[in-house]
Structure 1
Amino acid sequence: MAPALVYLSSDYSKMNAIDNVIANNTDDCGCCSATASNNWWQIDLGKKYLIEEIRVYGRGSACLFGHYGYGCLPEGHCALEYDTAIGACSSCVPGWEGDACNHACAPGEYGPGCTSVCGFCRDGHITCNTHNGHCPNGCSAGYKGDICTTPCDPGEYGPGCILCGQCGDGNTTCNTDNGYCPQGCASGFKGDLCNLPCAPGEFGLNCSSNCGYCHDGNTPCDASNGHCPTGCAAGYKGDFCKTTCDPGNYGLGCTSNCGQCRDGNTTCNIDNGHCPNGCASGFKGETCQTLGSTPGTRR
């Protein structure tokens, strides 16, 4: 039990509580006793009495709920109880601090009693909501979460932690601030963030190589390794279909042999096997592989 509150002013003497005056406007009559929160008052009657009734009259000038002290000052932003005499709060609601919870959090602080520090907000770490710590414009590069205190996971970057592009040494190695890949892009991708696929006809690291002569045109090669999925066009061979047939060969994959050309069997067209100057004596046909005289020549 707290000790009785003692006031030096005679206007608020404890004896006023038993002077049989029931006027209750303190400023006019000076007739009330004064107490503070959780204090008590007692009287010794000197001997035993049979008490029939006890009447307690409140002060007419007492403060309304939500106010305290002399002049009935407004209560601060208390979370729970407050002292009706001095206004002290047992705890503050988020966003406020001080004994009476009447001081707003300073920039960069938030929460009950302003005990938490703002995270990495995009527009500065002093701009978070003083109530819940949320950043009004999102997180700065490299952080995520409601209060922007969680670093990006490997493979993420930038404000809010966007997924990295296709880095040359794995898509978990990009710079968490700007997303750049330290070792360049993986085969088949290009751009500052390595998130752009090669254009048709390109392949390899940073899409810096051109496709060869694929069987179905020069655009469908594999963007990663440059291989033609259906083989090479007639007249070309090799993994990238960029090597022309050896003299004397022609056609798809250079698997056909030239016929008997007038200028020798190494001079046929590498695409279709035609002899540019006709067939040698005794052969005919488009590829000069059929025995017989060419029309219009002597035997």
Structure 2
Amino acid sequence: MAREEGTSAPRAPQGPGLYGERVFRPQDEGEAERIDLGALAYDATTLARLTQLGAGPGTRCLDVGAGTGTVARALLREAGVAEVVAVDRDIRFLTAEPVPGLTPLEADATSPDFAPGLFDLVHARFVLMHLPHPARMAARLSALLAPGGILVLSDAVDLTTENAPPTPYTTAMRAMWRGLRETIGTDVSWVPGCPRLLADAGLEEVAAEIHVPPLLPGSPISRFWAGTWDRARIAMVGTGLVDDAGIDEAQRRLESPAYAGLSPGMLTAWGRRPAAPP
């Protein structure tokens, strides 16, 4: 199997579609709400890390794959940054709620001509896991840092299937990852190696952490996974690992206070571009 340039993680061929095309289409009813459930589960952790790394007054930021813009708006509202350029291939959710300092940019960050300028902070959450060349993208985003700037990447790390006891929930998760890989090229197998990608891109002070929100009945993360399975249901059933009844049972487990399990985690890695010589 071919290996991704810059990392030893094996990569499957990219699926015939992209994120937001065959699944998770922004025009589908309820998609913004599904994205915002993920934001409720992860935004506090993301914003805490970004502010600890220096996001604050005077900072110019680039948010790649900005989605509904919850991180971009929080950086402006709570961290007081000067500007956030929020990039997405579809910016309908970003333009729906304009705020001072938020600059929506409809663009494909994987395009060779993507050149929005240099930034003090570049952030991308749950983006590289859906792309065929994560090492290449990490290097490209690193090149958008001003001297001394910080790149922060977050992607899903799977804690739910390989060594977990078999349950309807873990079976559904396994089917989801395989189904997304086969339809849109999603791959989280390389994510534990993300810090190495940043070091290989020439960044310094590289470090990482993992956040795992608890699976509680009615919690944002439990509702997020239930909604994600609904949208990925065709791809999941197509793997042969699960049927509709199995997905329904997994969703019932998420609603049960008796169920004990782990959500996939969010691994966040960061690194700093060396400062310009005096």
> TM-score normalized by structure 2?
0.18
Question: Per residue, is there more helix in 1 or in 2?
Answer: 2
Provide the TM-score with structure 1 as the length reference: 0.17
Higher relative contact order (CA 8 A, sep 6+): 2
Q: Which has the larger Rg? A: 1
Identify the structure with the greater strand proportion. Answer: 2
